[in-house]
């Protein structure tokens, strides 16, 4: 079983990514937005949690009505230089109030983890060629943040006594 970083710990990942035409396995599944739209009733009738994999080209506003039914939203990073999923994460957390698991998937690198967490991600599915143990250390490299974000809504000058 694959492991992921969740809430700054390495944990076994019980979620399964399921291709659009593949049969649904037992247990928690992550499906594409297209499959969700096509098979919504079937997916909701299952006894296991469902998550959606959202491309970074889709406006998260399209999911607002569905968010209460989703245990997980996986936001795609197709390449490390494409940061649109950072904006999606902020919108999902701050504007739309999503409280389920927000997972970074795709080309997720150690150097981005602290910034991803600041934007609302709480789970990280790293590339297979990356060390989860090494990646955990990224969260401890910065002790103070200056700008406001999901994890700290006040800028540093407002937090100082």
* Confidence check: pLDDT of 59 > 90: yes
Query: What is the per-residue pLDDT across 68-122, written as a single tens digit (0 to 9) for each?
Result: 999 999 999 998 788 899 999 999 999 999 999 999 999 998 989 999 999 999 9
Measured CA to CA, the distance from residue 39 to residue 31 in angstroms comes to 10
Query: What is the per-residue pLDDT across 120-134, written as a single tens digit (0 to 9) for each?
Result: 999 999 988 999 999
Please give the domain boundaries of the chain with CATH numbers for all domains: 3-159 (3.20.20.70)
The pLDDT assigned to 106 comes to 94
Here the tokens at position 116 are 């991803």
CA distances from 23 to 16, 29, 55, 83, 158 (A): 12, 11, 22, 32, 52
The structure's pTM equals 0.91
Here the tokens at position 3 are 């492991």
Is 32 in contact with 38 (CB distance < 8 Å)? no
Q: Where are the beta strands (DSSP E) in 1-84?
A: 3-6, 9-12, 16-17, 29-32, 50-54, 72-77
Q: Which of 1, 2, 4, 3 is nearest to 124 (CA)?
A: 4
141: confidence class by pLDDT, cuts 50, 70, 90: confident
């Amino acid at each position: 079983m694959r492991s992921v970083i969740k809430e700054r710990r390495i944990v076994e990942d019980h979620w399964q990514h399921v291709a659009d035409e593949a049969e649904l396995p037992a247990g928690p599944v992550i499906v594409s937005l297209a499959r969700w739209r096509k098979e919504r009733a079937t997916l909701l009738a299952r006894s296991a949690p469902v998550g959606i994999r959202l491309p970074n080209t889709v406006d998260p506003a399209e999911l607002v009505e569905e968010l209460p039914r989703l245990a997980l939203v996986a936001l795609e990073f197709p390449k490390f230089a494409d940061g649109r999923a950072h904006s999606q994460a902020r919108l999902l957390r701050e504007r739309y109030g999503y409280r389920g698991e927000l997972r970074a998937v795709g080309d997720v690198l150690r150097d981005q983890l602290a910034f991803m967490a600041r934007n609302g991600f709480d789970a990280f599915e790293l590339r297979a060629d990356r060390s989860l143990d090494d990646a955990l250390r990224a969260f401890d490299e910065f002790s103070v943040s200056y700008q406001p974000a999901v994890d700290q809504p006040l800028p540093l000058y407002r937090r100082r006594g």
